[in-house]
Structure 1
Amino acid sequence: MTRNARRYHITTFGCQMNKADSERMAGILEDMGFQWSETPDDADLILYNTCTIRDNAEQKVYSYLGRQAKRKQEQPDLTLVVAGCVAQQEGEALLRRVPELDLVMGPQHANRLEDLLEQVFQGNQVVATEPVHIYEDITKPRRDSKITAWVNVIYGCNERCTYCVVPNVRGVEQSRTPEAIRAEMEELGRQGYPEVTLLGQNIDAYGRDLPGSKPDGSHLHTFTDLLYYVHDVPGVERIRFATSHPRYFTERLIRACHELPKVCEHFHIPFQSGNNALLKAMSRGYTREKYLRIIDTIRRYMPDAAISADAIVGFPGETEEQFENTLRLVEEVGFDQLNTAAYSPRPGTPAALWENQLSEEVKSDRLQRLNHLVATKAAERSQRYQNRIEEVLVEDQNPKDPSQVMGRTRTNRLTFFNGDIEALRGKLVKVQITEVRAFSLTGTALEMAIA
């Protein structure tokens, strides 16, 4: 079979950063002459872009790999690649566990995929997990959506939260230059993408590592400066960003979001725990009180803004009373959405070695109680949409009802309404909300907002 006819398949686990990395690697493979295959079983090159935030994501990778490793014994020309955070964490150990692998590469190496594969095609087994300076994005991603696009603004993370494996696997913070970010957004505007999400593991750290500082010692480039610099890119109608860190979240950033009409009124700010002693044990660098002040400030500027977050239950040593502090914070804030997880010990993190681990039963019980409260509060928050007119960016057909399309409000609420996807995809439509649920809405289209 000629190289040009080769087919590839990518399976992505984990966060938005991983999805963005997969799109860039798909772009590289297509530049190399590979064609996308819907299923891994028809592909000549299979790439698993992995996540190690929780143990079950990691186990899933191994079960997928096992199936393809067997296939490779019958088809020796099959190329198997593991990229992402499990690759970075396990490195050489992955090859010992799955000797059929051809390439193990950490997230910092995504833009080097072609060079690494060339080494593989010369008959080498390659492990690329050493820290590198990330090459500027000259790759053309093969984007999964024609409506919304990710744009990385900063890679890596310098925080040292005691439960988190990200700094070990994604490396130190590396900000892209404002000019490179704007150029990528301008290209997306020309291609007709109405919405861009700016991404960073800790987006508020943007610019700290770029050269130059002000006379008062502060940074020349901050994430807020970046928003002012890119907000008017032609063709891009909506700008979102994630993920924020309460330690660095400023009133100036909130004011910018309020002032800049394209920036959506949705903030994703993980709080992890509602108890100060646990926040300290987690090395989060803020208190419950500071977190609540941030939420109050957002609501002072934008009373209607949607707020989502992440929370962990069952962190080592968490008492029932400390868990109830988390419940009270959720009650007080009333999140639009909350990603919840039971604590899962990760290799190489301090908290994994502590002796005060909680039982799976306690973690499971607390997770259920928290999820019940989250759904109740989200349903209450949803009530504000009843009968309102919302601007919805149409993304796709409703998979459960082909007569409906679906998209998101500026506050990131999933919304369904009757319409023809071919006519409406990528359009901003005014929709009157007729039905509210905890995490989604249904409505009736009134008219096109923007043709």
Structure 2
Amino acid sequence: MTKPRQYHITTFGCQMNKADSERMAGILEDMGYLFTEDPYNADLVLYNTCTIRDNAEQKVYSYLGRQAKRKQTKPDLTLIVAGCVAQQEGESLLRRVPELDLIMGPQHANRLQELLEQVDAGNQIVATEPIHIVEDITKPRRDSTVTAWVNVIYGCNEHCTYCVVPGVRGTEQSRYPEAIRAEMEDLARQGFKEVTLLGQNIDAYGRDLPGTTPEGRNLYTLTDLLYYVHDVEGIERIRFATSHPRYFTERLIKACKDLPKVCEHFHIPFQSGDNEVLKAMRRGYTHEKYRRIINMIREYMPDASISADAIVAFPGETEEQFENTLKLVDEIGFDQLNTAAYSPRPGTPAATWDNQLSEEVKGDRLQRLNHLVSQKAAERSQRYAGRIEEVLVEDQNPKNPSQVMGRTRGNRLTFFTGDINELKGKTVAVKITEVRPFSLTGEPIEALVTV
């Protein structure tokens, strides 16, 4: 009897990549492959790559080098690079790593079986041409049995001067609401409790779909989508990411307040607290507009969690401009902030500018911002002390097997004592006894466990 072939996928980067990896894993399992944790046991190794930061890209090349060497003694090894580095580098990857069998951009994730059939026929394939993304007919191999990603819009039409996403993920393509709802209904049948609707710029959802309302707005918007999918039976929580301040509306905030399943958590990157830097980034809003959005959210939903992304040491950023970012972070008080020092990316306008800042300046500013972020997150965490929070249990605490872990509606990671076999997928009322900047610990109130 032939031993089934094994596959391994390593995923770098954003939630969109994680969702793509789950879909590709589903395709491979439909083809009869078995998953292995160990890439050195696998017959097929797939790296789903990210090119947002240079260090993620370099890590891919390091991993690839080891697998290319392994292929010299195991010629039937199938080696694949998918995702954004694949899209950006295309055929030049073959010159660097001739052992590769398949190079495929993110738009081709659903075509994996078809592309592998071409590889099996003896071809070396580069699939990076722009295509209309095939509807999600694949069955993903989900990493969780409680929470799931659902793509609602692919690609991005923004052209921020530092960002490679439009070049590697293509132009915006929204899925129709019926297809999104059908996927959520299928997830509910499988027992999933929480869905995160995903888009690189999710507020742009629907603007590429045909039709307008009598008032002249797009027939399909993220707000309308939330109302449309809200009553899917079995799904208890809905989240969405990532938002863009340019398109964020009061109508969306009102929907989040009115719809009980939509969690009180907003992820809205601001990138810089200085208007001149925002203009150079081509972000399309001012820090004043960003503050108005946050104020409006807190007016409607005072307890909402706010997370964001920020870049320091963008080309030409002065100390004074950086201090405007610190000021915005200090005044808003984020629950969480993903920070990064600017990293020049090939093919982006900012990478060619001659006012790049030194690594020393980048390191110093990043350290100062991170210090403030931790301070503010610790302050924000204090509001949870002694409170009772609804926690959806996702898994066992890997550091303490006697504890389970899950997230509050505000997306705060929370630990408490419990049996994962009994509690996984359940929402538990937890009294918070210990607060930290980015996580909480509590005690379950047994009477309020819900299925």
Q: TM-score range by the shorter chain?
A: over 0.9
Q: CA deviation at 1:211?
A: 1.1
The amino acid that maps onto 1:92 is: E
Structure 2 partner of 1:449: 449
User: Is structure 2 residue 331 aligned with structure 1 residue 332?
Assistant: yes
The amino acid that maps onto 1:142 is: R
Correspondences of 1:357-396 after superposition (within 5 Å): 357-396=356-395
Structure 2 partner of 1:114: 113
Whole-Å separation in 1 of the counterparts to 2:41 and 2:97: 21
Structure 2 partner of 1:353: 352
The amino acid that maps onto 2:83 is: G
| Matched residues, number | 450
Whole-Å separation in 2 of the counterparts to 1:170 and 1:418: 42
Q: What SS does structure 1 have at the residue aligned with 2:410? A: coil
Structure 2 partner of 1:245: 244
Correspondences of 1:261-340 after superposition (within 5 Å): 261-340=260-339
Correspondences of 1:20-31 after superposition (within 5 Å): 20-31=19-30
Structure 2 partner of 1:14: 13
Q: What SS does structure 1 have at the residue aligned with 2:440? A: strand
The amino acid that maps onto 1:94 is: L
Contact 1:275 1:323 in 2 (8 A): yes
Correspondences of 1:26-37 after superposition (within 5 Å): 26-37=25-36
Q: CA deviation at 1:9?
A: 0.5
Whole-Å separation in 1 of the counterparts to 2:14 and 2:385: 31
The amino acid that maps onto 1:450 is: T
Q: What SS does structure 2 have at the residue aligned with 1:323? A: helix
Q: CA deviation at 1:449?
A: 3.3
Structure 2 partner of 1:432: 431
Correspondences of 1:75-94 after superposition (within 5 Å): 75-94=74-93
Structure 1 partner of 2:405: 406
Whole-Å separation in 2 of the counterparts to 1:205 and 1:256: 16
The amino acid that maps onto 2:84 is: C
Whole-Å separation in 2 of the counterparts to 1:9 and 1:375: 35
Whole-Å separation in 2 of the counterparts to 1:150 and 1:47: 20
Once the two structures are overlaid, the 10-residue window that deviates more, 32-41 or 195-204, is: 32-41
User: Is structure 2 residue 202 aligned with structure 1 residue 203?
Assistant: yes
Q: What SS does structure 1 have at the residue aligned with 2:72? A: helix
Q: CA deviation at 1:371?
A: 0.2
Describe the superposition over 1:136-182 as per-residue Cα deviations: whole angstroms up to 9, x where unpaired. Answer: 00000000000100000000000000000000000000000000000
Q: What SS does structure 1 have at the residue aligned with 2:261? A: coil
Q: CA deviation at 1:215?
A: 3.8
Q: CA deviation at 1:283?
A: 0.4
Whole-Å separation in 2 of the counterparts to 1:27 and 1:398: 26
Q: What SS does structure 2 have at the residue aligned with 1:261? A: coil
Structure 2, unaligned runs of 5 or more: none
Structure 1, unaligned runs of 5 or more: none
The amino acid that maps onto 1:347 is: P
Q: What SS does structure 2 have at the residue aligned with 1:5? A: coil
Structure 2 partner of 1:223: 222
Structure 1 partner of 2:148: 149
Contact 1:417 1:445 in 2 (8 A): yes
User: Is structure 2 residue 60 aligned with structure 1 residue 61?
Assistant: yes
Contact 1:433 1:441 in 2 (8 A): yes
Q: What SS does structure 2 have at the residue aligned with 1:235? A: coil
Q: CA deviation at 1:360?
A: 0.4
Structure 1 ranges of 4+ moved more than 6 A: none
Whole-Å separation in 1 of the counterparts to 2:215 and 2:123: 52
Q: What SS does structure 1 have at the residue aligned with 2:445? A: strand
Describe the superposition over 1:393-451 as per-residue Cα deviations: whole angstroms up to 9, x where unpaired. Answer: 01111111111111100000000111111111111000000010100000000024313
Whole-Å separation in 2 of the counterparts to 1:182 and 1:246: 26
TM-score normalized by the length of structure 1:
0.99
Whole-Å separation in 2 of the counterparts to 1:186 and 1:216: 31
Structure 1 partner of 2:414: 415
Structure 2 partner of 1:132: 131
Contact 1:417 1:444 in 2 (8 A): yes
The amino acid that maps onto 2:124 is: Q
Whole-Å separation in 2 of the counterparts to 1:22 and 1:402: 28
Contact 1:311 1:339 in 2 (8 A): yes
Q: What SS does structure 1 have at the residue aligned with 2:55? A: helix
Describe the superposition over 1:358-414 as per-residue Cα deviations: whole angstroms up to 9, x where unpaired. Answer: 000001000000000000000000000000000000111111111111110000000
Structure 1 partner of 2:340: 341
Whole-Å separation in 2 of the counterparts to 1:234 and 1:217: 32
Q: CA deviation at 1:216?
A: 4.0
CA-based RMSD of the aligned residues comes to: 0.8
TM-score normalized by the length of structure 2:
0.99
The amino acid that maps onto 1:189 is: A
The amino acid that maps onto 1:122 is: A
Contact 1:391 1:449 in 2 (8 A): no
User: Is structure 2 residue 179 aligned with structure 1 residue 180?
Assistant: yes
The amino acid that maps onto 2:338 is: N
Identity level (%): 82
